Amino acid sequence: MNTFFSIVVPVYNRPEETRELLESLQKQDFQKDFEVVIVEDGSSQSSEEVVNRFREGLNISYYFKENSGPGDSRNFGMQKAKGNYFIILDSDCILPKQYLSEVDKELTKEFVHCFGGPDAADDSFTTIQKAINYVMTSFLTTGGIRGGKKAVGKFQPRSFNMGISKDAFEKAGGFGRIHPGEDPDLTFRIWKAGFETRLFPKAFVYHKRRIDWNKFYIQVNKFGMVRPILNKWHPGTAKPTYWFPTLFMLGLIIAMVVAMAGLILPLLLYAFYFLVLFLDALIKSKSLIVALLSIFALLIQFTGYGIGFFKSTMLLNFSNKKPEELFPKLFFKKK
């Protein structure tokens, strides 16, 4: 397939992030033509002025629309795009200069209608950003559950770094209104439409995730609430491993209780797991502080996700209401 890339980026009140992303796109070593489509999702802080600075160096278009969520904005951008292969990026990503060349190399070697790439922590990231990046990507945490190089099951791309052919986009129907969760929902529909997905390990991005601990908890809590909804919509995709964070935190509480009664073995097993996690984070980050914060980040991740997953599972199984009625904040309204 002779591919022409359209890079689609939804933006919401992030002009500075947009500038950094466009700078990294301008520095690509890719020799073929590509276009950039910026979709302003009803922002009060416009990125149009930033976009205009890059018009001479990039083939770029800018659209402003009413706020309807990132999924709908990506659909809007892909409908406006001129390419036959879309690359979806979040505005808080920065690309290494070889990113597009690596994508093109993978597609030339073995074409696939949908791919995802990993995210990495740049040296400029804060210690909190690096710790959160670690727990979001490590096989020792939920990185293995969602699908990766050494993952449990098929790879599930994420829309901060995702490619999809125009053909797959049209046949799968694009992103839905749920958020978060629009990524795996689309992936499952892509599979049902007969297309495959694959990880491009060298097509990584630096994903900043500009969030603090409280925002991180809210984010992973929503991830947990979304998963049972996706299991209900796509029954064949449900896995026992999705219960892991909930059972992990419940087991930790039980381990601490029985330790006070003199039975310390369960708590020692947890201590061993935390030690392995700490050493792995230390080796990968080369930072003692990041490794220590990674344990704290893991506890926030598993607590937030676990509570969200359990709450959502109970409500969906013991209520006659639809997910949109039970969890209205997880769905953008139709425009």
pLDDT digits (tens, 9 = 90+) for 95-130: 999 999 999 999 999 999 999 998 888 888 899 999
pTM above 0.85, yes or no: yes
Domain boundary at 184, 210, 236, which?
210
pLDDT digits (tens, 9 = 90+) for 160-214: 999 999 999 999 999 999 999 999 999 999 999 999 999 999 999 998 876 789 9
Listed residue (129, 189, 198) closest to 163, CA to CA? 198
pLDDT digits (tens, 9 = 90+) for 225-273: 999 999 999 998 888 989 999 999 999 999 999 999 999 999 999 999 9
Listed residue (43, 53, 202) closest to 116, CA to CA? 202
The pair of three-digit structure tokens given for residue 118, joined into one six-digit string: 């990993």
Domain boundary at 210, 227, 253, which?
210
pLDDT digits (tens, 9 = 90+) for 270-294: 999 999 999 999 999 999 999 999 9
Q: What residues contact 277, with CB distance under 8 A and at least 6 apart?
A: 138, 140, 141, 294, 295, 298
CATH number at residue 94: 3.90.550.10
SS3 breakdown of the chain: % helix, strand, coil, rounded to 5? 50, 15, 35
Whether residues 254 and 189 fall in one domain = no
Q: How many structural domains is the chain composed of? A: 2
Whether residues 257 and 173 fall in one domain = no
- Give me the amino acid identity at 139: F
Whether residues 161 and 130 fall in one domain = no
Whether residues 301 and 175 fall in one domain = no
Domain boundary at 210, 225, 252, which?
210
- Domain containing 22 equals 5-117+157-210
- The CA distances from residue 174 to 103, 156, 167, 186, in Å, are 21, 15, 11, 7
Q: Report if residue 220 sits inside a domain.
A: yes
Whether residues 85 and 56 fall in one domain = yes
Using CA atoms, how far apart are residues 113 and 71, in angstroms rounded to an integer?
A: 19
pLDDT of residue 147: 41
Q: Report if residue 335 sits inside a domain.
A: no
The pair of three-digit structure tokens given for residue 208, joined into one six-digit string: 């900043």
Quick check: helix, strand or coil at residue 83? coil
Whether residues 61 and 162 fall in one domain = yes
Whether residues 241 and 317 fall in one domain = yes
> Please, what sign has the CA dihedral across residues 84, 116, 236, 318?
negative
The pair of three-digit structure tokens given for residue 73, joined into one six-digit string: 């904005």
Beta pairing partners, 39: 10, 63
Q: Report if residue 137 sits inside a domain.
A: yes
Using CA atoms, how far apart are residues 229 and 98, in angstroms rounded to an integer?
A: 37
- The CA distances from residue 127 to 118, 122, 124, 182, in Å, are 19, 11, 9, 29
Whether residues 93 and 194 fall in one domain = yes
Q: Report if residue 178 sits inside a domain.
A: yes
Q: Report if residue 237 sits inside a domain.
A: yes
Q: Report if residue 259 sits inside a domain.
A: yes
Whether residues 177 and 262 fall in one domain = no
Q: Report if residue 269 sits inside a domain.
A: yes
Helices 127-137 and 288-317 pack at an angle, to 10 degrees, of 50
DSSP strand E in 152-239: where? 161-165, 197-199, 205-207
Whether residues 250 and 202 fall in one domain = no
Whether residues 97 and 19 fall in one domain = yes
Using CA atoms, how far apart are residues 36 and 86, in angstroms rounded to an integer?
A: 10
Whether residues 56 and 67 fall in one domain = yes
pLDDT of residue 283: 96
- Reading phi first (left if > 0) and then psi (alpha if -120 to 50, else beta), residue 13 is in left
Q: Report if residue 219 sits inside a domain.
A: yes
